[in-house]
Amino acid sequence: MNLKDIKSQFPIFKSNKNLIYFDTANSAQKPIQVIDALEDFYKNHYANIGRAVYGLAARATANYDSTRETIKEFVNGSEGEIIFTKNSTESLNLVAHCFGKFLKEGDEIILTEAEHHSNYVPWHFLRKKKVNIKFIPINEEGEVQVDQLTSLITNKTKMISIIHVSNVTGLTTNVKKVISIARAKKIPVCIDGTQAVTHSHVDLKELDCDFYAFSAHKIYGPTGVGILFMKNKWVEQFEPFNGGGGMIQNVDTKNITYASGVSKFEAGSLASAEVIALKHAIKFVKDIKIKNIVSHEQSLATYALDKISKFNDIEFVGRPSDKGSVFSFNIKGVHAHDASTVFDEDDIAVRAGHHCCQILHKKMKIGSSLRVSFGVYNNKQDIDALCESIKKCKKIFKLK
């Protein structure tokens, strides 16, 4: 990887020359190809999609639909099972809402204690129907204890919905084992893959889960686009999540029939420009190659963890993984928000808070943490600068 060449493709670093961006797990910066694609569509090709037969609209629709093919090849999925949503949060809400209609009092959902709120709150809503939620525990290192899954499953277990990669610790859940256990019991599996895609090799046919959700904006694409893979059996069984134009087949004053396939889940005018630009983000990633991105991020993680662990007063959240692109820590005696403010004075952007993972933080007996997450634009000099800011922070707060 030619890091200098790659970083030069991100305009944000030309406008903010001193910026060190360690918040890719929150949202990745955008390469010029994605920005240019948005501008080009709005300037030269814009028309609403799926609504008209004139040439401009037909070409826009074809351009939009071709993104499904790009995504299918990217994660080895099936084109007819790709639903565009607003983000991973909406994707997971869609699954919980639609699947929830099949549930009755006493039925059970299994999650993990490492879940992002986006994969807990939507299932929590089903408690109004007296559905029970169980949690696969995490250990003191933050690892999901998949070996305990079998003991949680009963004949009332109807769904297992789990995180693929933690957005706090960077640890990977053994999703293949979860899926294998679930398959033997004929239980569907939903995976929140938001932090896995681009940071690891994801092959949906190999995984063979029922649902898989991720977001465009975390893989160097635009905001406002989520991707949900849903197996055809569920596409056929689920009723629409939203109602409106584009998701119907026939309407009269007494009855409505819905569009077939994934179209019934894509109501209203969609984020067409953003979906089209997503193709260019995926091409950007594919040109670099996932294996190169993974190798680069792992080398950064190894370097960062080695340097930061040498400081006194550093507490990592769980066991930080040098195999991931994310880790979290605290400086003893300094609130995460205060430390983040000091880092910001040096143009270093890190996330501070509970990262939408309060259950994990409470299990670790901490209120908040500092999160470092890597992208293709980071280098070892960025980590050196972070370490200097940690020294500065310790000095300000009079820590040895």
Which secondary-structure segment (H or E) carries 82? Answer: strand 82-85
Q: Are the beta carbons of 25 and 219 closer than 8 angstroms?
A: no
Ramachandran bin of 134, using left for φ above 0, alpha for ψ from -120 to 50, beta for the remaining angles: beta
Please state the rounded mean pLDDT for residues 73-87.
Answer: 93
Q: How confident is the model at residue 190 (pLDDT cuts 50, 70, 90)?
A: very high
Domains and CATH numbers, the chain: 3-22+289-396 (3.90.1150.10), 34-286 (3.40.640.10)
pLDDT at 186: 98
Model pLDDT for residues 211-259, shown as the tens digit of each residue? 999 999 999 999 999 999 999 999 999 999 999 999 999 999 999 999 9
pLDDT at 400: 64
Please state the rounded mean pLDDT for residues 168-195.
Answer: 98
Which has more pLDDT, 207 or 80? 207
E strands within 129-272? 132-136, 157-163, 189-192, 211-215, 226-230, 248-251, 256-258
Which secondary-structure segment (H or E) carries 13? Answer: helix 12-15
Q: Are the beta carbons of 213 and 227 closer than 8 angstroms?
A: yes
Model pLDDT for residues 315-362, shown as the tens digit of each residue? 999 988 778 899 999 999 999 999 999 999 999 999 999 999 999 999
Model pLDDT for residues 364-376, shown as the tens digit of each residue? 999 999 999 999 9
In sequence order, which residues have a C-beta less than 8 Å from that of residue 255 and are 6 or more positions away? none
- What is the Cα–Cα distance from 360 to 31, expressed in whole angstroms? 33
The overall pTM is greater than 0.85: yes
Reply yes or no on whether the pLDDT at 399 is more than 80: no
Q: How confident is the model at residue 1 (pLDDT cuts 50, 70, 90)?
A: low
CA atoms within 13 A on the CB side of 299: 12
Query: What average pLDDT does the structure give for the chain?
Result: 96
Catalogue the active-site residues: 356
